[in-house]
């Protein structure tokens, strides 16, 4: 039988499109599967949030659970000034509940904390509400980590133009819409979260915020975040500089540099004491 040199080629060229189709289908379906899996995780986190948000916190039970969190967030909930651990003291209760549910279900990637959100520590919605209630009433640090921006005025303007609608005039957030309080948070933590939200690494982020912040780079982010880290929380939320959480009298409080005595506090002279709290001159 005579074979024409082209016949084999022809036969092969018929198979090629199938390979290409298969090659195209695999990423298509895996992207779809990933999107569906992510949707399912987000739905589960939302379900858990709804279960916890209306429960009345039992603060004593919250305090007991908080003992497992102290090793990283500190007895005062002030985290670390270098921003590795966020300050969670004074964060809004709804935000803490949402973040715990997101971390527990995998909707927010936070490998370090996942083990501490598992059922042996946070067995149910009530436990989440309890620990969130406890943390949200702790007073905030006057020693949070700041940035080194050269242009805080610009940071203020960028904040006013781009963030106020959601995070509020002074970065106080919104309990109702579980938008985080960001005033007085450690600069490095703010910066890191902002970048992770911008590039999609923090999966639970708000879609509108992601769109809104795409235009910001380097010094824009420095300026905004330094400004935000310097917004003083209101007096009712601020601890006096030497405050130690009386709920944990035997804890070694200064194991991490959350409290730094050599820090410059030029405004301190204007501070007035109001019971256990510091009266913030900005609030008058
Ligand atoms: C092993 C250290 C560690 C332990 C223990 C730990 N956390 Fe965290 N937590 C972190 C780190 C690190 C982050 C920030 C991760 C990031 O940068 O995304 C964080 C973030 C958070 C946030 C989100 C804060 C925000 O502003 O979004 C909350 C809320 C929180 N932790 C609560 C808790 C509670 C409640 C416990 C105890 C049940 C706990 N953590 C135990 C390390 C820890
Ligand atoms: C459309 C509303 C919206 C806008 C605009 C917005 N944010 Fe957000 N932001 C959110 C929400 C909602 C979250 C919490 C997402 C989640 O559930 O994890 C968030 C989270 C953050 C966080 C992480 C806080 C934490 O404790 O982990 C930072 C930092 C932040 N925003 C800064 C900014 C800054 C700075 C701007 C302006 C340049 C801005 N955001 C604009 C809604 C918004």
At residue 72, the pLDDT reads 92
Cα 105 to Cα 117: distance, rounded to the nearest angstrom: 9
Question: Where residue 231 sits, what CATH number does that domain have?
Answer: 1.10.760.10
Domain-embedded: residue 272: no
Residue 169 lies in a domain: yes
Name residues whose C-beta falls within 8 Å of residue 225's C-beta, 6 or more positions apart in sequence. 147, 149, 155, 187, 190, 191, 194
pLDDT at 254 (0 to 100): 59
Ligand 1 pocket by Cβ (under 6 Å): 65, 68-69, 71-73, 85-86, 88, 91, 96, 99-100, 110, 112-113, 116, 121, 131, 180, 192
List pLDDT tens digits, range 238-278: 999 889 999 998 887 655 555 554 444 444 444 444 444 54
pTM: 0.85
Residue 199 lies in a domain: yes
Structural domain of 154: 57-251
Average per-residue pLDDT for the chain: 84
Interatomic CA distance for residues 79 and 85, integer angstroms: 5
Split into its structural domains, the chain has a count of: 1
Residue 239 CB coordination number (10 Å): 24
* Closest residue by Cα to residue 282 from 238, 234, 228: 234
192 inside domain = yes
In a domain? residue 188: yes
pLDDT value, residue 266: 41
Question: Is 246 inside any structural domain?
Answer: yes
Ligand nearest to the CA of 122: 1
Question: How high is the pLDDT of residue 34?
Answer: 62
Q: What is the pLDDT of residue 47?
A: 84
Asked whether residue 8 is domain-assigned, the answer is no
**Residue ranges lining ligand 2, Cβ < 6 Å:** 98, 162-163, 165-167, 179-180, 182, 190, 193-194, 197, 204-206, 208-209, 212-213, 224, 228
Contact 204, 191 (CB under 8 A): no
Q: How far is the CA of 180 from the centre of ligand 2 (A)?
A: 7
User: Which pLDDT score, from 0 to 100, does residue 242 have?
Assistant: 85
- Please report which residue ranges of 69-109 form alpha helices under DSSP H: 70-73, 93-105
Q: Within a domain: residue 186?
A: yes
Alpha-carbon distance values, 104 to 99, 110, 145, 190, 261 (Å): 8, 9, 27, 21, 36
Residue stretches of the chain with pLDDT short of 70: 1-16, 20-24, 26-35, 37, 253-284
pLDDT of residue 12: 53
């Amino acid at each position: 039988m005579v074979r024409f040199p082209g016949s084999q080629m022809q036969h092969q060229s018929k198979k090629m499109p199938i390979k290409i189709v298969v090659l195209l289908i695999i990423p298509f379906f895996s992207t779809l599967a990933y999107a569906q899996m992510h949707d399912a995780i987000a739905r589960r986190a939302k379900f858990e949030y709804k279960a916890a948000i209306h429960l009345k916190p039992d603060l004593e039970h919250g305090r007991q659970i908080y003992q497992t969190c102290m090793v990283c967030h500190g007895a005062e909930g002030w985290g670390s000034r270098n921003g590795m651990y966020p300050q969670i003291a004074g964060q809004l209760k709804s935000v803490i509940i949402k973040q715990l549910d997101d971390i527990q279900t995998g909707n927010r990637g936070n490998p370090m904390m996942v083990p501490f959100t598992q059922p042996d520590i946070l067995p149910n919605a009530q436990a989440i509400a309890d620990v969130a209630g406890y943390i949200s009433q702790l007073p905030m640090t006057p020693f949070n980590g700041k940035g080194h921006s050269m242009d805080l005025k610009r940071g203020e303007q960028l904040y006013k133009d781009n963030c106020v609608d959601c995070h509020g005039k002074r970065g106080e957030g919104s309990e109702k819409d579980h938008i985080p309080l960001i005033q007085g948070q450690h600069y490095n933590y703010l910066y890191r979260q902002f970048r992770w939200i911008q590039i999609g690494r923090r999966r639970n982020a708000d879609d509108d915020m992601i769109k809104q912040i795409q235009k910001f780079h380097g010094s824009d982010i420095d300026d905004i975040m330094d400004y935000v880290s310097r917004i003083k929380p209101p007096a009712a939320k601020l601890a006096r500089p030497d405050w130690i959480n009386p709920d944990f009298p035997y804890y070694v409080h200064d194991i991490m540099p959350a409290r730094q005595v050599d820090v410059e506090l030029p405004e301190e002279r204007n501070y007035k004491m109001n019971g256990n709290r510091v009266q913030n001159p900005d609030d008058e």
